[in-house]
Chain A
Amino acid sequence: MITRVFFFACALTMAFVAPSSAVSTVTVTNVWSRPATGTGAVYATIRNSAATSDALVSASSSVAKTVELHESTPVSSGSMSKSMNGGMQGMPAMAMHPVKFIAVAAGASTMLKPGGYHIMLIGLRHDLKAGESFPLTLRFRTAGDIHTVVHVRSMTQ
């Protein structure tokens, strides 16, 4: 009986302690940016090792007044409301739009990369220079906040 109570107590302790002390189910690696003035973008690889999907829902950083989640996509012909002054059809184009979240499927990775999902830095408080680093906090729906550091790559990288 004492043994059973002991095990129950242990299990209870594990249940309450484990989630806060465990390593996060989401890992963020290869976090980088480019030299920028005014606006910038951050790219990263987000890995979700949990059995359920998660999503990046917001981000914040002291280097920018506002941080948003965006996605760049090719403009498909006919997807734009106005015509292209005639004759412009057929030439490739790209568009960007804000997104509410960036999903990361269970046991999978989502890459934030040029021409796709990215974290947009708006109103940079200073120009981003190659070689500098700055803090970035990513908020996930399930995993919560993850603090990371962004490395500003040189243009030749």
Chain B
Amino acid sequence: MLSLSWNARRAMALFCIAFSTTSCSAQPHFDGTTVHKVAPTFTLTDQYGKQFNLTDQRGYEVVLFFGYTHCPDVCPATMATLAQAVNRLTPAERQRVRIAFVTVDPDRDGPAMLGRYVRLFNPSFYGLTGTERELDPVYRAYRVFHQKLPGTKATGYLVAHGSTIYLIDPRGDERVLHEWSDSVDAIAHDMKELVS
């Protein structure tokens, strides 16, 4: 009885060690800055004129970037990085990730313009817009800096804007932040972690 009990305890101890090791290795490691809070929800309009509600995206990892289509440099560089990162995912992982470009320039970025723009990078990407009343709370919730700046006669106004990429897990939690200039490897790694 005593011997059986000792064996049982030993087995239990081994099981616990094995289990805790498994749990440790299952802990995701992220290359970006980690955060853990509920991602503020919103409803905006996508490039097809349909409503895009963040809460409806549960079950999908959502990647947000804020920019504007007249931006020739940082925005396309970021979107190209995201397109490359998505290409690193397996087809199954790719189906669970939604990339959304949210405009900081709703006056010039309507659904049609955003549609043409996001198609350049990946036809599955979303381009989101809305009225100022709809967008302002989203900028505030995600702490997205945005400010119109004088440009030239040819460019019209320019917009200084936040350059953070937000990774939201399939449960709707904001988990990882990247900067626009982070590597494809680092972003693809964290995207994988959130859908694996």
Contact = CB atoms under 8 A, between A and B. Distances in A.
B179 interface: yes
Contacts of A114: 73-74, 77, 181
Contacts of B70: 38-39
A93 interface: yes
A96 B155 CA distance: 11
A37 interface: yes
A155 B84 contact: yes
A87 B144 CA distance: 9
14 contacts: A35-B120, A40-B72, A41-B73, A68-B154, A72-B73, A75-B160, A84-B145, A88-B162, A90-B143, A93-B160, A96-B158, A97-B149, A97-B158, A121-B72
Contacts of A18: none
Nearest to B160: A95
B133 to A, nearest CB: 14
B106 interface: no
Given A41-B76, A80-B160, A97-B149, 14 more contacts: A36-B72, A38-B113, A40-B76, A65-B154, A70-B73, A72-B73, A85-B139, A87-B140, A91-B145, A92-B163, A93-B160, A94-B160, A114-B74, A114-B77
Contacts of B149: 95-97
A80 B84 CA distance: 33
Contacts of B72: 36, 39-41, 70, 118, 120-121
Top-8 shortest CB links A-B: A95-B160, A66-B154, A114-B77, A93-B145, A41-B72, A39-B72, A122-B154, A94-B163
Interface in A60-82: 65-66, 68, 70, 72, 74-75, 80, 82
B145 A155 contact: no
B80 A37 contact: no
Nearest to B152: A98
Interface residues of A, number: 40
Interface residues on B, range: 35 or more
Contact of A93 (B116, B152, B154, B163): B163
B52 interface: no
Nearest to A80: B147
Given A34-B80, A93-B160, A93-B161, A155 B74 contact: no
Interface string B135-153: 0100110011101010110
B87 interface: yes
A144 interface: no
A41 B152 CA distance: 16
A81 to B, nearest CB: 8
B162 A92 contact: yes
B149 to A, nearest CB: 6
A156 B180 contact: no
Given A39-B72, A41-B76, A88 B144 contact: yes
Contacts of B126: none
A88 B120 contact: no
B103 interface: no
Interface string A107-123: 00000001100101111
A53 to B, nearest CB: 25
